[in-house]
Structure formats: structure tokens, C-alpha cells
């Protein structure tokens, strides 16, 4: 038996002459044995598949491991009569044509492992499979053709088979390494996306994210796919309401950030009854900014919830708002905040009038509120009106038949709006009293300057 010298690519068969060189070497070991052992430890020794892949419960990943040149899936039934039924877990197959015209079936059993069936076959043009029969006298004996002995040719064939097997193993290892790297990259996308959606409260979408990531979907593609799931649509339900109102849809990050802002405001003022998904959805659906919500909360707590009971009664009298619903009314995004502020200001003016024994109608109170009369100015103004009104009304009763009368309405016009016509009415009544009794009228001694507020009635 000839011995092969791998360094010189020569056959040393004990001949006395110079060694015969068979062919130049075409194989070079790319990695050391230690490196190869380390790399192989990442794969199942029986199948050559990544250990992480073997624990996967997602069947769609298997096709992604089909090697180039292989057709995915088990081989067709036409091959069953020669090789038996195909393994349903087979990753792929291909037909290998030999030098003598025969063909063989090679199957892929793992990401980097294959197996070739030994029986020679012939796949006909019509797709049928038959046993290969070698034509007689079509080939010349290898030993005769080469002029080498049968033993030498057998050694050459053995050497060629070893080189082919080693090359095939290295190719399989390279393919498996590349496949493992691709798998790790996709699992990285899964981990990143799963962590993000866990923070959104959507842990139930983890399997869906994993399935899409393993198929090779990008993060943007995965997000678009998830938007169609019931879980996503329920979590970000206010976006559907915004669409109906022609408002821009919020991204998950924007949605969660504005939710957190709302809840911080509500919790800061102890309004836990409004710190729930239903109210937060209303705020988002109506595009209420966190700043506006903060202003509403301050109004609800400081001017309503903690207000004098008289204000609560006045709000109910003017607008029919009962005490338990007042904070909810202020926070209701369907109600314009400017209108709510005007209603509260009008009620405060109504309370100021009531404390002086006067009654301010809702239209007058709203007018004064609209022109900027504050609660403090209302208290001071109605105190002045209450001081001059008794005498003015008495004189109006005396001289009403011959001149204009002066009542609460005129007092409000004069005090809050510096209306000259109202002032002249009071002055004429005072002058009539002076002319009749020869004394200065009490009304003339009342100074209205300090009670006047800017604005137009």
C-alpha cells in the first residue's frame, strides 16, 4: 500500500526511482485544531446545528438554514422507492451528478451537515426516477488509461476522498458559523424590541416579536406589524379617537411620555380618582397638553374643591353643577377651559354681591368676569354699591316721576365701568334732594374712585 506524504503531495511506494508527484496540494488548514474545537462546541455534534437553534420552538426558522444549492424541505415522493420516506425534519435536498452519468441524492440534515444516499439513480426529463444502469464498454479501465497500478489508483482515490471530505467539513463549519451569526443578530433585534414593548405594558407581544425577528424583519417592520394586533390597539386606544378628530397619531414613546406627564400632575394634587386609563385616554384623545391639565387641576383644587361653600352653591345656582361633579367638570376635556374659568369667576362675583345682600344675575356676573373683574375687586365694588344704594333707591322713589331712577344696575355700571350716564343719574337725584331740603345729600359724600375698576360694561 502506498503511503501519502501530505507535505510533498507525493506517493512513496518504495520505488528506487524518484517519487512520483501526483498533483499540487489545493487544501490549506485555515484554523488551528484548538480554534476548530472551540467553534464546534457551539454546535450539536450529531446534526451540526447551533445549540441555541435546537432550543427554538419556532418552526419557521428551519428554512432559513437551508444551504445554497439545496431545495428547502423533504425530497419528493418519487425518491421514496429508492431511499424510503423522507424525514419531515429534513432541511433540504439536491441531486448530485457523478462523472459516469449516474446521480445521487444528497440531503441536508442540519445547518451545516449533509448526507448522500449511495444508490445511483437517474432523474429523467419528465421528473420520474429510475435505477441507473451503466452502459457496457463506455469507460476505459482507470489503471490502463493512466498507466498506474490498481493499488496506486486506489490510493489516489482514497486521498481524493479524504481531501473532499475535509473540504466539505470546513465548508459546513463556515456555513454554520455564518448562520449562527445571522441568528444571533436576529435574536438581538428580538431582545431590544421585546424590552421596549415590555415597558409599554405589552409583554403579551413577545412571541410575535420573536417570530418576526427570526424571519429577518427589521425593527420598523416589526412595529408596523404589531400595530395591527388587538393588544397594541387596545394599549394605544386614544390614537383611534385622535384619527377621527384629524389629529396626528402619537408614537408609542410619545404616548407613554404624555401619559406619565398627566399622571404626575394628578398624583401631585391627590386626584387619584382621575388617575386611570379612562381619563388619561380622554386627555390624549382631545389633545390636552400637560400644561393645560395642570392649569385645570390647580383651578379644580384651589378654586373649587377647597373653596368657600358659598361658591359651590353659586356654581350650582348659576350652572346646575352639583358639588360631587365639580372637579370632574373642570377636568372634562370636552368642556372648554376658558368657559370653565369664566363660570368660576362669575360665581365668585355672584358670591361677592351676595355677601352685601345684593343679587348679581348670571349675565351681569359673566360680563364682569369677561372684562377682567377679579374676586377682590368684586368684593370692594359691591361693598361700595351696598353703601350708596339705600339712599339712591329712596331718592328714586321720591323723584322717580320727574327724573331717572338709580338702582343696582346703575350702581354696577358706575362702580365697575365708570359709566358717566349712571353717575349723572345719581348726581341729579342728590341735587334734587339738596334743592328740596337745603342740605348736602349723603350720596355726594361717598367716594367711588377707589371702587372703580377698568373695563367697559
Residue for grid cell 423533504: 74
Listed ranges 59-63, 96-100, 172-176, 374-378; the one with the highest mean pLDDT: 374-378
**pLDDT confidence bin for 339, thresholds 50/70/90:** confident
Instruction: Return the bridge partners of 113, or none.
Output: 110
Q: What is the pLDDT of residue 173?
A: 61
Q: Is the model's pLDDT at 252 over the cut of 80? A: yes
Query: The C-alpha cell of 229 is what?
Result: 394586533
Are 378 and 368 within 8 A, CB to CB?
yes
Listed ranges 39-43, 110-114, 237-241, 389-393; the one with the highest mean pLDDT: 237-241
Q: Which of 379, 370, 374, 387 is nearest to 351 (CA)?
A: 379
**pLDDT confidence bin for 305, thresholds 50/70/90:** confident
Are 129 and 123 within 8 A, CB to CB?
yes
**Which has more confidence, 415 or 34?**
415
Q: Is the model's pLDDT at 176 over the cut of 60? A: no
Are 365 and 349 within 8 A, CB to CB?
yes
Cα(128)–Cα(53) distance, integer angstroms: 35
Q: What is the pLDDT of residue 416?
A: 87
- Give the pLDDT confidence of 23-32 residue by residue, as tens digits: 444 444 556 7
Query: The C-alpha cell of 64 is what?
Result: 432559513
Return the percentage of the chain with pLDDT > 70, whole number: 76
Listed ranges 108-117, 349-358, 426-435; the one with the highest mean pLDDT: 349-358
Residue for grid cell 420520474: 128
Instruction: Return the bridge partners of 130, or none.
Output: 122
**Which has more confidence, 333 or 165?**
333
Listed ranges 23-32, 154-163, 243-252, 297-306; the one with the highest mean pLDDT: 243-252
Q: Is the model's pLDDT at 190 over the cut of 70? A: yes
**Counting every residue, how long is the chain?**
457
Q: How many Cβ atoms are within 10 Å of 185's Cβ, its own excluded?
A: 11
Query: The C-alpha cell of 397 is what?
Result: 322713589
Q: What is the pLDDT of residue 257?
A: 93
Radius of gyration of the chain (CA): 48
| Mean of all residue pLDDT scores within the chain | 77
| pTM across the whole model | 0.46
- Give the pLDDT confidence of 206-242 residue by residue, as tens digits: 888 888 888 888 888 888 888 888 888 888 999 999 9
Q: What is the pLDDT of residue 246?
A: 94
Q: Is the model's pLDDT at 12 over the cut of 60? A: no
DSSP 106: E
- Indicate the SS3 state at residue 12: strand
- Over the range 94-118, which residues count as b (16 or more CB within 10 Å of their CB) and which as e? beeeeeeebebbbbbbbbbbbeebe
Q: Which of 1-10, 90-99, 230-239 has the lowest mean pLDDT?
A: 1-10
**Which has more confidence, 240 or 450?**
240
Q: Which of 152-166, 226-240, 285-299, 306-320 has the lowest mean pLDDT?
A: 152-166
Cα(35)–Cα(148) distance, integer angstroms: 40
Residue for grid cell 349675565: 363
Secondary element (H or E) of residue 223: helix 219-226
DSSP 50: B
Query: The C-alpha cell of 93 is what?
Result: 435536498
Mean pLDDT of 365-374: 92
Mean pLDDT of 350-372: 92
What are the phi and psi torsion angles at 294 (to 5°)? -60, -45
Helix axes 337-355, 362-370, angle to 10 degrees: 120
Query: The C-alpha cell of 317 is what?
Result: 345656582
Q: How many Cβ atoms are within 10 Å of 71's Cβ, its own excluded?
A: 13
Cα(183)–Cα(279) distance, integer angstroms: 43
How far, CA to CA in Å, does 107 sit from each of 68, 86, 96, 141?
A: 12, 10, 10, 31
Beta-strand runs (E) in 111-199? 113-116, 121-123, 129-131
- Give the pLDDT confidence of 265-278 residue by residue, as tens digits: 999 988 888 888 89
Cα(344)–Cα(341) distance, integer angstroms: 5
Q: What is the pLDDT of residue 7?
A: 47
Amino acid at each position: 500500500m502506498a503511503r501519502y506524504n501530505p507535505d510533498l503531495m507525493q506517493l512513496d511506494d518504495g520505488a528506487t526511482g524518484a517519487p512520483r508527484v501526483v498533483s499540487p496540494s489545493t487544501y490549506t488548514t485555515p484554523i488551528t485544531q484548538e480554534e476548530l474545537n472551540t467553534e464546534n462546541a457551539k454546535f450539536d455534534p450529531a446534526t451540526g446545528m447551533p445549540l441555541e437553534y435546537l432550543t427554538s420552538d419556532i418552526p419557521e426558522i428551519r428554512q432559513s438554514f437551508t444551504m445554497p444549492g439545496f431545495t428547502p424541505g423533504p425530497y419528493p415522493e418519487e425518491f421514496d422507492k429508492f431511499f424510503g420516506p423522507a424525514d419531515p425534519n429534513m432541511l433540504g435536498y439536491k441531486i448530485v451528478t457523478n462523472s459516469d452519468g449516474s446521480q445521487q441524492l444528497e440531503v441536508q440534515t442540519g445547518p451545516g451537515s449533509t448526507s448522500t444516499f449511495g444508490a445511483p439513480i437517474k432523474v429523467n426529463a419528465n421528473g420520474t426516477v429510475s435505477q441507473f444502469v451503466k452502459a457496457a464498454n463506455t469507460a476505459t479501465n482507470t489503471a490502463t488509461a493512466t498507466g498506474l497500478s490498481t493499488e496506486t489508483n486506489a490510493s489516489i482515490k482514497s486521498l481524493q476522498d479524504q481531501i473532499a471530505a475535509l473540504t466539505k467539513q470546513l465548508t459546513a463549519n463556515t456555513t454554520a458559523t455564518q448562520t449562527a451569526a445571522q441568528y444571533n443578530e436576529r435574536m438581538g433585534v428580538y431582545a431590544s424590541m421585546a424590552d421596549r414593548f415590555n415597558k409599554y405594558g405589552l409583554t403579551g407581544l413577545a412571541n410575535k416579536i420573536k417570530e418576526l425577528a427570526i424571519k429577518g424583519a427589521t425593527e420598523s417592520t416589526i412595529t408596523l406589524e404589531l400595530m395591527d394586533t388587538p393588544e397594541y390597539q387596545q394599549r394605544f386606544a386614544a390614537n383611534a379617537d385622535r384619527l377621527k378628530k384629524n389629529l396626528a397619531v402619537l408614537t408609542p414613546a410619545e404616548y407613554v411620555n404624555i401619559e406619565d406627564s398627566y399622571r404626575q400632575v394628578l398624583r401631585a394634587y391627590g386626584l387619584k380618582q382621575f388617575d386611570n386609563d379612562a381619563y388619561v385616554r380622554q386627555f390624549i384623545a382631545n389633545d390636552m397638553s400637560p400644561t393645560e391639565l395642570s392649569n385645570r387641576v390647580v383651578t379644580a383644587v384651589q378654586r373649587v374643591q377647597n373653596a368657600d361653600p358659598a361658591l359651590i352653591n353659586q356654581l350650582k345656582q348659576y350652572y346646575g353643577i352639583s358639588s360631587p361633579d365639580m372637579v370632574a367638570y373642570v377636568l372634562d376635556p370636552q368642556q372648554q377651559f376658558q368657559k370653565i374659568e369664566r363660570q368660576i369667576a362669575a360665581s365668585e362675583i355672584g358670591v361677592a354681591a351676595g355677601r352685601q345682600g345684593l343679587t348679581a344675575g348670571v349675565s351681569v356676573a359673566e360680563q364682569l368676569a369677561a372684562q377682567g373683574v377679579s374676586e377682590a375687586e368684586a368684593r370692594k365694588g359691591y361693598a361700595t354699591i351696598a353703601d350708596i344704594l339705600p339712599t339712591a333707591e329712596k331718592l328714586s322713589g321720591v323723584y322717580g316721576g320727574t327724573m331717572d331712577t338709580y338702582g343696582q344696575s346703575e350702581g354696577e355700571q358706575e362702580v365697575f365701568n365708570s359709566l358717566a350716564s349712571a353717575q349723572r343719574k345719581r348726581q341729579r337725584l342728590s341735587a334734587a334732594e339738596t334743592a328740596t331740603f337745603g342740605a348736602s345729600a349723603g350720596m355726594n359724600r361717598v367716594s367711588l374712585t377707589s371702587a372703580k375698576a377698568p373695563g367697559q360694561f
